């Protein structure tokens, strides 16, 4: 089983930056894709960004040009650099890891952007 732990959330003013981190442990050899999702109050959980083992990335249109997903030399650590933050980015951000048979999820970290 894969376990995920997020960190780095907090309160930031509009236009500011935050970096989220996700550390995976356990049976990490089976992970094909890792990514970030977010869920705002009253909204569905939505994809923010993903990265494959080969380094291919995918972003939601709403964050392109502002957010960057990356990983450390060890593929079990993934980051989300968030720049030019907007109030509409306010949400709980969740780390996700995809294997051939199941998805693992972190506990979530709150990001609040003030106007």
Nearest Cα to 48, choosing from 85, 4, 75?
Answer: 85
> For 15-67, what is each residue's pLDDT tens digit?
999 999 999 999 988 999 999 999 999 999 999 999 998 899 999 999 999 99
DSSP class of 100: S
Note the pLDDT of residue 76: 86
Q: Which two tokens stand for residue 49?
A: 């960004």
Residue 68 pLDDT > 90: yes
Burial of residue 8 (number of CB atoms within 10 Å: 0-12, 13-18, 19+)? middle
pLDDT above 90 coverage of the chain, percent: 90
More confident residue, 104 or 29: 104
Beta carbons within 8 Å of 74's beta carbon, 6+ residues apart: none
Contact (CB, 8 A) for 104 and 78:
no
């Amino acid at each position: 089983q894969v376990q995920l732990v997020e960190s780095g959330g907090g309160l930031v003013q509009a236009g500011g930056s935050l970096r989220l981190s996700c550390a995976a442990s356990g049976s990490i050899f089976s992970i094909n894709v890792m990514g970030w999702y977010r869920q705002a109050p009253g909204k569905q959980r939505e994809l923010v960004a993903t990265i494959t083992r080969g380094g291919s990335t995918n972003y939601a249109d709403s964050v392109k040009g502002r957010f960057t997903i990356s990983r450390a030399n060890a593929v079990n650590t993934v980051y989300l650099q968030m720049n030019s933050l907007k109030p509409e980015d306010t949400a709980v951000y969740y780390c996700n890891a995809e294997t051939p048979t199941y998805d693992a999820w972190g506990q979530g970290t709150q990001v609040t952007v003030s106007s």
